[in-house]
Amino acid sequence: MRRIVLLAAALLALTAAPASAAYRYSISRITPSVKARIMGSSYHRGCPVPLRNLRYVRVRYWDFDHHQRTGELIVNRDASGDIARIFRRLYANGYRIRRMRLVDAYGASDYRSIEADNTSAFNCRFVDGTNHWSNHAYGRAVDLNPLENPYVYANGTTSHPRSRKYVNRSKRRHRAMILRGDKTVRAFAAEGWGWGGNFSGARDYQHFSADGR
């Protein structure tokens, strides 16, 4: 009996061998090379947060083909620990992310970054149609898989044609869709972060922020 148990344990170890690498992350100050990528792009004069208060964060994630990748985000220093822990939970949950690059890869255009289904955080910009800073300008907001989780206007429309099939949130049509109370929403909520899917009027299903706005 003991031998069978040992054999079973050995088999289990073997089958588990090619399993996933552990979650990894790093948090660093904005180095000269990162600074060169963001200056005059996502970062510019007049931004409400000094560069010294931003952090360059790399996290391991699962992509849509279930490969492990390393993504990059810039967030506020005071949000960097939260973000490292949140992405640890997303990784443990097997949540899949299309891509995760600085918005500067898209000329700091929110629209182009969304069209690429890019997950991103810092961008020194106003809330659309206003002249006040978005939480993204403080590095305290993340947009996750934005095509599958669109910003939906109060009248039920979206600016992104490929997001139309994800406007209706009554059921999960894609595994990256974030739904009320699901594991992804809870991963952020565990650090006190709120979800834009709970907004009234227009809903921002891709958006999570430290203060819930």
By beta-carbon proximity to Zn ion, the closer residue of 57 and 141 is 141
By beta-carbon proximity to Zn ion, the closer residue of 124 and 141 is 141
The helix (H) or strand (E) run that includes residue 32 is helix 32-38
Q: Closest distance between Zn ion and the C-beta of residue 58, in Å? A: 20
Number of residues that bind Zn ion (CB under 5 A): 3
Task: Please identify, among the stretches 39-47, 66-74, 140-148, 165-173, the one whose residues bind Zn ion according to the rule CB under 5 A.
Answer: 140-148
Task: Please identify, among the stretches 2-10, 15-23, 97-105, 141-149, the one whose residues bind Zn ion according to the rule CB under 5 A.
Answer: 141-149
By beta-carbon proximity to Zn ion, the closer residue of 34 and 210 is 210
Task: Please identify, among the stretches 9-17, 142-150, 175-183, 187-195, the one whose residues bind Zn ion according to the rule CB under 5 A.
Answer: 142-150
Q: Closest distance between Zn ion and the C-beta of residue 143, in Å? A: 4
Decide if residue 143 touches Zn ion (CB under 5 A).
yes
Contact 97, 117 (CB under 8 A): no
Q: Closest distance between Zn ion and the C-beta of residue 149, in Å? A: 10
Task: Please identify, among the stretches 10-18, 20-28, 170-178, 204-212, the one whose residues bind Zn ion according to the rule CB under 5 A.
Answer: 204-212
> Could you report how far apart the first and last alpha carbons of the chain are, in Å?
59
Decide if residue 140 touches Zn ion (CB under 5 A).
no
Of all residues in this chain, which one has the CB nearest to Zn ion in the complex?
207
Q: Extract the tokens encoding 47.
A: 């931004």
CA distance 95 to 207: 16
By beta-carbon proximity to Zn ion, the closer residue of 24 and 112 is 112
Decide if residue 117 touches Zn ion (CB under 5 A).
no
CA distance 12 to 2: 15
Q: Which residues, including other chains, have CB under 8 Å from residue 120's CB and lie 6 or more apart?
A: 73, 100, 101, 102, 103, 113, 142, 143
For 93-142, the three-class secondary structure string (H helix, E strand, C coil) is HCCECCECCCHHHHCCCHHHHHHCCECECCCCCECCCCCCECHHHHCCEE
- The helix/strand/coil state of 207 is strand
Decide if residue 207 touches Zn ion (CB under 5 A).
yes
CA distance 42 to 54: 12
Residues near Zn ion (CB under 5 A): 141, 143, 207
